[in-house]
């Protein structure tokens, strides 16, 4: 039994049973039921359309739709959708992938292969805030809190950093390309394996999304504030890399050929490129596949050779213009065909040769016993050494011939060096020496002479030495001469060649006295070569300390320079000490810089160094230690003035304070008009002058006309009256009142407003009050002080709507004073005649009450008669009461009066005269009474028994007898009231323990008799104040109830007010209700449709209330069908995400967008005002900063974009931009769940047909026809196979109105066109329903490939 069901995102169903969990994708109709013990705290995530993720108790369970078991469970506490990534393939895909990446902790990522149960863990040094697997689950992109973007290769277990700062990163849908943003630069990696191959582009905004277009291309949308710019990705690069990853080499070759064809078409008549950098519509292209063409052909060739697809490799090399390799591939292809496959040894040997694996080729030939083939290979490649070695190892008979051929080849090609080595190997050293000298290789000749000790021929030796010197091989010449014991000549050769190391070594053995001199020369040489570090060491060896120190400083070997200065005179060391100090100063090592400044007596430099770093204490310490007081004073003041001139006033202040020149600092701030800083200094160092300073500044600002600043300082000086006087002198009365209210309180504020108006007099004072909205405040003040003439005067001039209130209050005051006639006049002027009537009835002045009722409120005449009747009845004047009841047209009341007083004949008489239809009922009641009545149930009996019990002091029994008397026994209410009061008096005096009980019963009886005040008095006397409050509220005596509740039961005040408000609502007294509960009054006005009053009252409450009312008003207009007015209301009064407003805005937006009256059906439409206003409203809601839920935010953004694209399409129609109209019409299909469904597909099809996009028009018109048929026949089912893998919403994702927006002829025209197109070639060009291979899908154009991919998802 299913115990609970939920629907998420209008697509996913979750059902619960006691032991299982049911998950269903309603779009794909795949259902999973897994074993599950529900806790009630499960959280479901549907970000991945193939799986549902269930989070419960720190454990994440992954369920694939259609599978009845959990495919994986992991533990994680991080359930942010940006911190979990899954890649789950469909069951019908060839290559199954089931991988998940999630956070173990904030700095660790775990990747689990759910099929092979293999995992990998990435430990990072910073918090990870985003991660995502690529399409194949082989690579992971993640970003840390330092905004560094990393790429992790799961298979190779390698990680690299792509960007050191990343604002945005995303895999391009359907590929392994990556798009990222770092500040103002857009990065695109088309082939992520080659991370150094990246396309960059400067942008001016932020990446908004990566969008797949209908034509198969992909674009990056950048929001530049007012504009949205699209950057098209190179589709050829993406498709090429995808084909290589899937080893679709034929598809890759076709892509490259198409690219070459495009390149030819883009060339002008002279071969010059005609390609434009930017599109005229604001779309830019990212990447240039032309520049990558050769690299892409080379990559294809390498992969094709590795895969032994030699025809493709031949095509690739031909495209590159590499004729030789193309011929090799052609030869390999021919060998494969001739020898029955690529496994033949000739083919394998040629492949090895192509890859320059000559040893491998030799081994292949040798395995087959083809020595001659191997020798010929080496000869063709001119690898004679390898050929000779192979011939020697095999004792080949043609070895000598081969060697002779090789030697002749070397001589003919002037390769004397190699020929000499060949003769050297044969032991013919003399010929080898001649060949070396002949070829210009004297160094080789010298080596042979040295190694073989051929020193007999002195002429030859001199010749070799001369050749070495001629070739400027001085080091080798020196070594050669040194070996021949020609030491002086060798030393000269070494020095000439700057070979000082060999020269020093020779001098240490032969000329020791010259070693020191050579060390200095060596140092000079190194210094000339800017090798200062090495030069320093040789200067030290030569004892040249000053040169060593200079070299150390130039080499930035500061420690070595400092060590060298220890043995140098102070005067000589000073320049070097200053340079060393300046170095440490630039490096920020201020302590070392200070040491060497001080050591070199550069004290002022040290102080200024600390000045620059704002280290005032250290600067002051040095100044006091090494400098005189006068110098310190002058130095600080001069530097402070310099800092002041440079605008660094804060630093200058520090210097002034250090030398006790606070007044200079104060004057500096005053001169620079930085009064806040000046006040800070005065409050800190001159506290006694603070108030005077504030007052002086107030006077100064007042004189300058800066009254706001003057007010601030007057108030800071604790004197607010000058501020009020200032504003009054300037006739800035609003500010004067503001200060008076803030500083003097509300009483002072009212008083100021009132007396100001009186003092100004005439229209000027009242105009002042009106302009500033103070009229009501002044009127209220006058009323509170019983100054009614002034109240009338002010109200007449400033707020006439308050006149009624003044008359009413004046009337109440007159009534309290007993001036009833004047009170009557004021009640009438206040339009409250009912109050005058009540006043007279309370005084029993019946003639006056009747006069007022007849003149001003005829409806109340009956109530006057009825009240007179009640009074007469209470006075036992039954005849008079009867006449009054009859005049009040209340004969029933007269009948009841007689019945209650056992005067049945009089009751029957009244019934016969006035209500004959009640006579039978009266007679029946009379007979019943007579039959049931005995002596014990009569008034006399009960009253006598009660008095008897009183005389016997049986008070409790007496109380019961009194309480037993009801209205039936005693029709005289005044008599009954007295009897009930007797019961209460007895309980109060003699049976106090029954006081509460008796008081409650008596009060209840009295309340039924409409004696609520009396009932409340009894309850109050019994200490039952809470019940007394409730009785008074029930009797509508709210004033008395509030007074009693405020004293005895404050928690009931709210209940009393609510009852009062309910009464006012029922009576429709909106004016009085607005004074008590503005919100309820607003609702009442709204129900009446008085929206001007609604906004007037709401504006007095808050801006949020106005916005809430506007949303309510707009929804009402939507229900009434006035969409334009609804949107205009929101534009006028504003919109904000508060409370339930978001839901209202969604409903309004959906109604406006789905309205067919604003949906263009022709190309002559214009942008409706409702759509323009709706965009403004939704932007205002999204930017209002309110608390918007995730789903509401997505819905609002979706509706805003729908309105934006709809308006943009219509604007393009006006401007005759037909191509853009087509693109916009197709793009708008993403929002067909909020726009008119049939109209949306009609526009998409019609614009595609006009742009000769017949395939797309065919698809969209087919859907349009299906929708029209579905609207007319709800039993029909729509096949959505073609759109299931697109972002076009399902037809069933929305409620479809059963009304066509097109007439039948228009639908039939489209149906005939679609039928004609379906019978033409277009039907044959559409993709097959089922494809068998990726190659079939990749051979289609983008639109058809998109449709076919629904049945073969591995294709892209």
| CB within 8 Å of 1115: residues ≥ 6 apart | 1126, 1144, 1147, 1148
- pLDDT at position 178, please? 92
Contact 1134, 1184 (CB under 8 A): no
Mean pLDDT of the chain: 77
Contact 2, 22 (CB under 8 A): yes
- pLDDT at position 895, please? 87
d(CA 1198, CA 1120): 25
Task: Give the pLDDT band (50/70/90) at residue 34.
Answer: very high
| 118-140: pLDDT as tens digits | 778 899 989 999 999 988 888 99
pLDDT at 275 over 60: no
**Mean pLDDT score, 353-371:** 78
- pLDDT at position 767, please? 60
Helix (H, G, I), strand (E, B) or coil at 189: strand
pLDDT at 1345 over 70: no
Contact 16, 47 (CB under 8 A): no
Task: Give the pLDDT band (50/70/90) at residue 350.
Answer: confident
What's the token pair of residue 487?
């030491």
- pLDDT at position 1332, please? 57
Contact 545, 564 (CB under 8 A): yes
| 591-616: pLDDT as tens digits | 777 777 776 777 777 777 877 777 76
- pLDDT at position 459, please? 65
Beta bridge pairs of residue 5: 15
d(CA 641, CA 664): 10
User: Does an H or E element contain 1027, and which?
Assistant: helix 1025-1034
Half-sphere CA count of 292, side-chain side, radius 13 A: 22
Query: According to the per-residue pLDDT averaged within each range, which of 254-258, 403-407, 446-450, 782-786 is highest?
Result: 254-258
Task: Give the pLDDT band (50/70/90) at residue 151.
Answer: very high
Half-sphere CA count of 516, side-chain side, radius 13 A: 5
Helix (H, G, I), strand (E, B) or coil at 109: strand
pLDDT at 1161 over 50: no
pLDDT at 221 over 60: yes
Beta bridge pairs of residue 278: 284
Task: Give the pLDDT band (50/70/90) at residue 1328.
Answer: very low
pLDDT at 280 over 50: no
Helix (H, G, I), strand (E, B) or coil at 103: strand
**Mean pLDDT score, 821-837:** 85
| 437-480: pLDDT as tens digits | 777 777 777 777 777 676 666 667 777 777 777 777 777 777 77
> Which is higher by pLDDT, 552 or 149?
149
Q: According to the 3-state scheme, what is the secondary structure of 780-808?
A: HHHHHCCCHHHHHHHHHHHCHHHHHHHHH
Helical pair 235-245 and 293-306, crossing angle rounded to 10 deg: 10
Contact 983, 998 (CB under 8 A): yes
Percent of all residues in the chain with a pLDDT value above 70, rounded to a whole number: 81
Task: Please give the full DSSP string across 1327-1339, using - where no structure is assigned.
Answer: PPSS--SHHHHHT
| 1173-1218: pLDDT as tens digits | 777 777 767 776 666 767 777 777 777 787 788 888 888 888 888 8
- CA dihedral sign of residues 1274, 1280, 1284, 1287: negative
For tokens 């020369």, the residue is: 521
d(CA 1037, CA 1040): 6
pLDDT at 1166 over 80: no
For tokens 């004290």, the residue is: 603
What pTM does this model have? 0.35
pLDDT at 281 over 70: no
d(CA 1351, CA 1356): 12
- pLDDT at position 1334, please? 52
d(CA 203, CA 1225): 28
> Which is higher by pLDDT, 538 or 22?
22
- pLDDT at position 1339, please? 53
Question: Phi/psi class of residue 568: alpha, beta or left (left: φ > 0; alpha: ψ in -120 to 50)?
Answer: beta
pLDDT at 56 over 50: yes
Task: Look at residues 601, 544, 538 and name the one whose alpha carbon lies nearest to residue 567.
Answer: 544
Contact 1127, 1174 (CB under 8 A): yes
Query: According to the per-residue pLDDT averaged within each range, which of 737-741, 787-791, 880-884 is highest?
Result: 880-884
| 932-949: pLDDT as tens digits | 554 567 776 677 667 767
**Mean pLDDT score, 1074-1091:** 66
Task: Give the pLDDT band (50/70/90) at residue 1326.
Answer: very low
DSSP annotation of 674 reads -
| 384-418: pLDDT as tens digits | 777 777 777 777 777 777 777 777 777 777 777 77
Contact 156, 192 (CB under 8 A): no
| 631-664: pLDDT as tens digits | 767 677 777 777 777 777 777 777 777 766 777 7
């Amino acid at each position: 039994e299913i115990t609970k069901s939920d629907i998420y995102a209008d697509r996913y169903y979750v059902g619960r049973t006691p032991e299982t969990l049911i998950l269903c994708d309603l779009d794909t109709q795949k259902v999973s039921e897994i074993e599950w013990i529900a806790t009630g705290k499960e959280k479901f995530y549907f970000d991945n359309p193939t799986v549902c993720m269930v989070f419960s108790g720190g454990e994440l369970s992954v369920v694939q739709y259609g599978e009845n078991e959990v495919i994986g469970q992991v533990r994680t506490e991080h359930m942010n959708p940006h911190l979990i990534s899954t890649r789950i393939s469909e069951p019908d895909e060839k290559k199954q992938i089931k991988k998940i990446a999630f956070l173990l902790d904030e700095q660790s990522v775990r990747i689990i292969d759910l099929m092979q149960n293999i995992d990998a863990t990435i430990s990072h040094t910073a918090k990870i805030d985003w991660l995502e697997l690529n399409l194949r689950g082989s690579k992971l992109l993640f970003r840390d809190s330092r905004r560094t973007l990393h790429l992790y290769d799961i298979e190779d277990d390698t990680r690299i950093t792509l960007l050191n700062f990343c604002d945005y990163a995303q895999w391009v849908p359907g590929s392994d390309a990556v798009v990222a943003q770092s500040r103002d630069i857009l990065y695109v990696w088309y082939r992520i394996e080659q991370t150094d191959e990246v396309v960059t582009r400067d942008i001016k905004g932020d990446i908004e999304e990566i969008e797949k277009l209908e034509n198969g291309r992909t674009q990056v949308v950048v929001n530049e504030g007012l504009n949205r710019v699209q950057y098209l990705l190179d589709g050829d690069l993406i498709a090429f890399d995808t084909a290589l990853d899937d080893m679709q080499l034929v598809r890759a070759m076709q892509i490259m050929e198409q690219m070459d064809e495009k390149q030819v078409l883009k060339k002008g008549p002279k071969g010059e490129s005609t390609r434009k950098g930017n599109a005229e519509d604001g779309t830019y292209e990212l990447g240039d596949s032309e520049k990558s063409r050769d690299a892409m052909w080379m990559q294809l060739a390498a992969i094709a050779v590795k895969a032994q697809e030699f025809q493709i490799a031949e095509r690739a090399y031909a495209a590159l213009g590499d004729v030789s390799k193309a011929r090799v591939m052609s030869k390999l292809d021919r060998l494969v065909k001739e020898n029955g496959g690529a496994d033949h040894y000739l083919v394998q040997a040629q492949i090895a040769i192509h890859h320059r694996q000559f040893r491998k080729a030799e081994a292949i030939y040798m395995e087959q016993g083809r020595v001659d083939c191997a020798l010929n290979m080496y000869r063709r490649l001119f690898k004679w050494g390898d050929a000779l070695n192979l011939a020697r190892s095999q004792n080949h008979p043609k070895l000598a011939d081969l060697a002779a051929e090789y030697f002749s080849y070397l001589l003919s090609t002037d390769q004397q060096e190699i020929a000499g080595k060949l003769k050297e190997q044969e032991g013919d050293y003399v010929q080898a020496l001649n060949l070396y000298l002949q070829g210009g290789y004297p160094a080789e000749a010298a080596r042979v002479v040295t190694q073989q000790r051929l020193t007999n021929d002195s002429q030859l030796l001199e010749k070799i030495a001369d050749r070495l010197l001629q070739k400027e091989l001085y080091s080798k010449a020196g070594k050669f001469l040194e070996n021949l014991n020609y030491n002086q000549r060798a030393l000269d050769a070494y020095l000439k060649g700057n070979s000082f190391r060999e020269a020093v070594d020779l001098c240490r053995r032969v000329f020791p006295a010259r070693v020191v001199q050579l060390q200095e020369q060596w140092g000079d040489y190194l210094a000339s070569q800017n090798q200062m570090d090495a030069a320093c060491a040789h200067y030290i060896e030569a004892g040249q300390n000053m040169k060593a120190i200079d070299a150390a400083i130039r080499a930035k070997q500061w420690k070595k320079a400092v060590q060298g200065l220890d043995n140098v005179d102070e005067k000589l060391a000073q320049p070097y000490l200053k340079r060393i100090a300046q170095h440490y100063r630039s490096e920020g090592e201020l302590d070392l810089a200070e040491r060497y400044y001080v050591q070199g007596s550069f004290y002022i430099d040290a102080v200024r160094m600390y000045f620059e770093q704002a280290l005032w204490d250290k600067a002051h310490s040095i100044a006091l230690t090494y400098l005189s007081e006068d110098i310190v004073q002058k130095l600080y003041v001069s530097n402070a003035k310099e800092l002041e001139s440079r605008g660094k006033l804060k630093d200058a202040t520090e210097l002034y304070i250090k030398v006790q020149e606070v007044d200079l600092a104060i004057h500096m701030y005053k001169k620079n008009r930085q009064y806040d800083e000046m006040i800070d200094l005065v409050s800190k160092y001159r506290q006694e002058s603070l108030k005077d300073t504030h007052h002086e500044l107030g006077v100064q600002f007042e004189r300058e006309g800066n009254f706001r600043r003057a007010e601030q300082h007057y108030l800071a000086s604790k004197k607010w009256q000058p501020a009020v006087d200032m504003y009054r002198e300037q006739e800035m009365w609003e500010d004067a009142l503001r200060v008076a209210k803030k500083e003097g309180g509300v009483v002072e504020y009212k008083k100021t407003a009132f007396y100001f108006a009186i003092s100004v007099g005439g229209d000027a004072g009242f105009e002042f009050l009106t302009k500033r909205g103070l009229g009501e405040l002044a009127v209220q003040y006058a009323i509170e002080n019983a100054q009614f003439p002034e109240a009338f005067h002010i109200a007449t001039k400033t707020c006439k709507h308050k006149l009624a209130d003044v008359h009413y209050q004046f009337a109440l005051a007159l009534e309290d004073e007993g001036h009833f006639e004047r009170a009557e006049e004021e009640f009438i002027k206040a339009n409250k005649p009912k109050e005058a009537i009540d006043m007279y009835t309370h005084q029993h002045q019946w003639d006056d009450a009747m006069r007022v009722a007849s003149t001003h409120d005829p409806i109340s005449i009956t109530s006057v008669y009825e009240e007179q009747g009640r009074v007469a009845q209470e006075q036992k004047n039954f005849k008079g009461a009867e006449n009054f009841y009859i005049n009040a047209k209340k004969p029933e009341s007269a009948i009841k009066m007689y019945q209650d007083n056992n005067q049945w004949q009089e009751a029957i008489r009244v019934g016969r005269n006035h209500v004959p239809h009640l006579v039978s009922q009266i007679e029946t009641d009379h007979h019943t009474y007579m039959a049931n009545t005995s002596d014990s149930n009569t008034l006399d009996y009960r009253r006598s028994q009660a008095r008897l019990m009183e005389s016997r002091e049986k008070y409790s029994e007496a109380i019961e007898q009194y309480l037993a008397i009801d209205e039936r026994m005693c029709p005289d209410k005044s008599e009954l009231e007295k009897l009930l009061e007797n019961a209460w008096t007895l309980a109060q005096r003699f049976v106090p323990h029954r006081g509460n009980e008796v008081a409650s019963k008596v009060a209840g009886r009295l309340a039924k008799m409409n004696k609520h005040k009396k009932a409340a008095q009894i309850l109050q006397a019994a200490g039952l104040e809470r019940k007394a409050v409730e009785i008074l509220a029930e009797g509508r005596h709210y004033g008395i109830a509030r007074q009693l509740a405020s004293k005895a039961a404050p928690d009931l005040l709210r209940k009393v007010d609510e009852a009062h408000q309910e009464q006012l609502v029922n009576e429709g007294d909106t004016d009085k209700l607005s004074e008590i509960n503005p919100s309820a009054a607003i609702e009442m006005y709204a129900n009446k449709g008085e929206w001007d009053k609604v906004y007037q009252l709401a504006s007095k409450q808050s801006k949020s209330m106005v916005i809430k009312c506007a949303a309510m008003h707009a929804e009402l207009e939507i229900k009434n069908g006035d969409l334009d007015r609804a949107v205009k209301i929101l534009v006028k009064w504003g919109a904000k995400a508060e409370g339930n407003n978001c839901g209202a805005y969604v409903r309004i937006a959906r109604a406006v967008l789905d309205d067919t009256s604003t949906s263009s059906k022709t190309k002559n439409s214009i942008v409706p005002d409702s759509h323009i206003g709706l965009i403004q409203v939704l932007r205002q809601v999204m930017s209002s900063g309110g608390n918007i839920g995730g789903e509401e935010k997505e819905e609002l953004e979706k509706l805003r974009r729908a309105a934006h694209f709809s308006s943009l399409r219509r604007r393009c129609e006006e401007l005759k931009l037909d191509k853009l109209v087509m693109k916009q019409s197709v793009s708008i299909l993403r929002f067909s769940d909020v726009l008119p469904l049939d109209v949306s597909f009609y526009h998409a099809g019609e614009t595609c047909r006009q742009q000769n996009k017949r395939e797309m028009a065919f698809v969209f018109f087919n859907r349009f026809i299906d929708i029209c048929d579905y609207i007319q026949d709800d039993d029909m089912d729509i096949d959505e196979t073609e759109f299931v893998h697109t972002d076009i919403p399902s037809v069933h994702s929305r409620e479809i109105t059963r009304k066509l927006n097109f007439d039948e002829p228009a639908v039939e025209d489209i149906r005939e066109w679609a039928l004609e197109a379906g019978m033409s070639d277009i039907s044959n060009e559409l993709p097959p329903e089922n494809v068998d291979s990726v190659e079939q899908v990749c051979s289609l154009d983008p639109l058809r490939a998109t449709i076919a991919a629904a049945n073969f998802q591995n294709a892209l």
